[in-house]
Structure 1
Amino acid sequence: MPFLAADIGGTHARVALMRASRDGAHGVETLAYRVFACREFATLSELLKVFVEEDAQVPVKHCVLACAGQIMGNEVVNDNLAWPIQLTQLRHALSLDHIAVLNDFEALAYALDGALTDDGRHLCGPRSSPGGTTLVIGPGTGLGAAVHVPGPAGGVVLATEAGQMDFAPNSVRERELLAQLAPNGGYVPFEYFVSGPGLLTIYTALCTLRRETPALDTPEAITRAAAANADAIAIEAVEIFCASLGSFTGNLAMAFMATGGVYLAGGFLSSIFELLKHSAFEVRFLHERSARALLLHVPVWVTEHGRHGVQGAAQWYLRHGMAETGVPQSAATCGTSA
């Protein structure tokens, strides 16, 4: 039975019509695929209806969503989503029998046994690993991360909200930026620095510290100016972004003993790969820690997000038997059988 698999981020929604592979290899076939700009739709149900009517062109009764944020009861909670997502409303709007939801980076981690590991570019560390726990991390509209622990039946994937951890400055300049963002102290998450909007935040704060008027107003404009060596503040902003990403990645690699490697996912990082490659990322990833001997043996790759989110979501859905039965085994679900 074909089913919808959608990867819903803060900026883009990637939607596919999928079914279990007919060769019996427990894989998935993509029957239709399309990328949407979330800002062009008033609701998620409106976006998915367009896909079903124009691309799927067959009745669809089952759906799995990979979403940024946390699933709290009947709602997906995240400040970076374009609109609130109510599962019951969505199911009724699309006449679905069943809908399931998992974290978007959890879905990416389920794609680690596929193309996600095949099309990456090596950033630092060895080019191979002895295996073990693997991390998927991605700064985009927000900052996501998930952990894959190997084991029987494909292992276990752990979703996280690591991007919400407190930002820890490493340099005097970063302390100045933190004071600029939170002059009275208080909570500032890593996501405020290590994300697309975070890069813009860094750039704007640097302009304030330098008493200059910001000339750039998007993350893309900042990275273009930095790559062209055309704006000193943009260059510094990208350097701080990359260094902070190195610290964040090293922290998680230590916390989860990620001997299987780290995959930095997303088109944003792919677009600045050369800047990242020549930045302080690796220095901050290793950072003279007591675990340096471990981290020296952790490979780090940059890979495109692409279709991997929908493929991972579909793999999760099939693994839990929902496409056939509609009976939820884990994560959040909503349906006539739930």
Structure 2
Amino acid sequence: MAKSWHLLADIGGTNARFALGDVSTGQISDLLTVSVADHPTFSSALQLYLSKIESSGDWDQRPIDGCLAVACPTDRDVVTFTNSDWVIDRKDLAFSLDIPNLQVINDFEAIGYAAARFSEDDWEQLGGGQSRPDKVIGVLGPGTGLGVCGVLPKKSQVIVMPGEGGHVDFAPVGDEEIEIIRLLLTRYRRVSAERVLSGAGLQNIYWALSQMHGAEQRHATPADISAAALAADDPVAVEALEVFCRVLGSVAGNLALTYGALGGVYIAGGIVPRILDFVRQSDFRERFLAKGRFRDYLNDIPTRVVTRENPGLFGALQSLQSRH
């Protein structure tokens, strides 16, 4: 007999991940990851996934509901992505899928729902003490962009406070970062945190440092810069990743202060888990704490790197389950 299922999606600027949640067991399965660049529209990627599920013969033809976690603001009926050309018309989509209950939430809102339900197997702690139950959790994640949200976990429900905190102003610390922002202002009218704390942000840091040192830019992509830094075969790449980690610490500390995140700060996204050893040995935690008179306030707040596979899909399922 075909089984009932929830449609789940986690859609970033680079990749879109689809999966289903088994209504009876709560398990996530049938994952499909597609490149956004390979599909001109969201609908074509979705139809590919629906055809895959239908052909399996294991599941009902249509899901009972769905949650799409998307890397852009979701306050309008027509959702336009920040870092791709995809567009989602939620009303048309709900009608075409025959799913009256179709949620479209920010991708970091989904991470927020996930963070409230994480176990100790889902993260690795980089400093601090124990999280405080029922206190606000801060979440940020550098990837294609920079996602930010706050979470207030309660026993009966989870309140997620999504926002666009990745687009706050970048606040440089020290002469090197001041020179970096000065150079970036020759390329951009305004330098946000995302301009330095994302994949493109790592490229921006590497470019600026190359200008400062009069060095050749030997690497073109964020992955190549990170690989060169981890292999220690390009001093400018190493320095760029060190700056990236310091800025990550500063922004995470700012987030902790803004939300009063005594429940901890979780770092998700596609970049940091891949460079975890580098982050651990960097000045990340010191910069998290370097807030003057509020160092002691931050000292016990744990900073945790999310290591769970596909936390956005897990969070999308938690969002659906929290509203039933």
Q: Given the two structures, how large is their TM-score scaled by the length of structure 1?
A: 0.86
- Counterpart secondary structure, 2:320: helix
Determine the structure 1 residue equivalent to 2:300: 297
The question of whether the paired residues in 2 share the 8 Å contact of 1:109 and 1:147 is answered with: yes
Paired residue for 1:38, among 36, 41, 63?
36
From the superposition, tell whether residues 143 and 116 of structure 1 become closer, same or farther in structure 2 (CA, over 3 Å).
Answer: farther
Query: Structure 1, residues 168-191: CA drift from partner, whole Å, max 9, x if none?
Result: 110211111111111498521100
Contact 2:132–2:264 (Cα < 8 Å) also in 1? no
Match of 1:287 among 290, 303, 315: 290
| Structure 2 gaps, min length 5 | none
- Partner Cα separation in structure 2 for residue 116 and residue 135 of structure 1: 16
C-alpha distance in 2, partners of 1:67/1:318? 18
Out of 123, 129, 143, the position equivalent to 2:126 is: 123
Matches within 5 A, 1:1-338: 1-22=4-25, 28-57=26-55, 58-61=60-63, 62-91=65-94, 94=97, 96-115=99-118, 117-126=120-129, 128-131=130-133, 132-183=135-186, 186-304=189-307, 306-321=309-324
Given residue 177 of structure 1, which amino acid in structure 2 is its aligned partner?
I
User: Which amino acid in structure 2 is aligned with residue 111 of structure 1?
Assistant: A
The one-letter amino acid of 1:260's match is: G
Question: 3-state DSSP class of the match of 2:262?
Answer: coil
Q: Retained in 2: the 8 A contact 1:163–1:190?
A: yes
Change (3 A) 1:305 1:161: farther
Measured after TM superposition, the shift of residue 30 of structure 1 is: 2.2
Shift of 1:295: 0.6
Structure 1 position 94, deviation (Å): 4.5
Structure 2 length as normaliser, TM-score?
Answer: 0.90
Alpha-carbon offset, residue 41 of structure 1:
1.2
- Match of 1:6, as an amino acid? A
RMSD, aligned α-carbons: 2.1
1:71 is paired with a residue of what secondary structure? coil
- Once residues 87 and 301 of structure 2 are traced to their aligned partners in structure 1, the CA distance between those partners, rounded to angstroms, is 38
Q: Residues 181 and 205 of structure 1 are in contact (CA less than 8 Å); yes or no, is this contact kept in structure 2?
A: yes
149-158 or 272-281, which moves further after superposition? 149-158
Secondary structure in structure 1 of the residue aligned to 2:292: coil
Task: Write the deviation string for residues 70-94 of structure 1: whole angstroms up to 9, x where unpaired.
Answer: 0142222442235233324434554
Contact in 1 for aligned 2:141/2:270 (Cα 8 Å): no
Structure 1 vs Structure 2: percent identity of aligned residues?
A: 34
Q: Tell me by how many angstroms 1:129 deviates.
A: 2.5
Structure 2 counterpart of 1:49, which letter?
Q
Q: For residues 99-151 of structure 1, what are the alpha-carbon distances to aligned partners after superposition, in whole Å with 9 as ceiling and x for unaligned?
A: 2211111111111243465221121212x223221112110000001111133
* Structure 2 residue matching 1:137: 3-state secondary structure: strand
Query: Shift of the alpha carbon at 1:20?
Result: 3.1
How many residue pairs match? The answer is: 315
Question: Does structure 2 retain, via aligned residues, the 8 Å contact 1:115–1:308?
Answer: no
**Separation in 2 of the partners of 1:284 and 1:308?**
26
Give the whole-Å Cα distance in 2 for the aligned partners of 1:249 and 1:216. Answer: 27
Unaligned runs of 5+ in 1: 23-27, 322-338
- 8 Å Cα contact 2:143/2:271 also seen in 1: yes
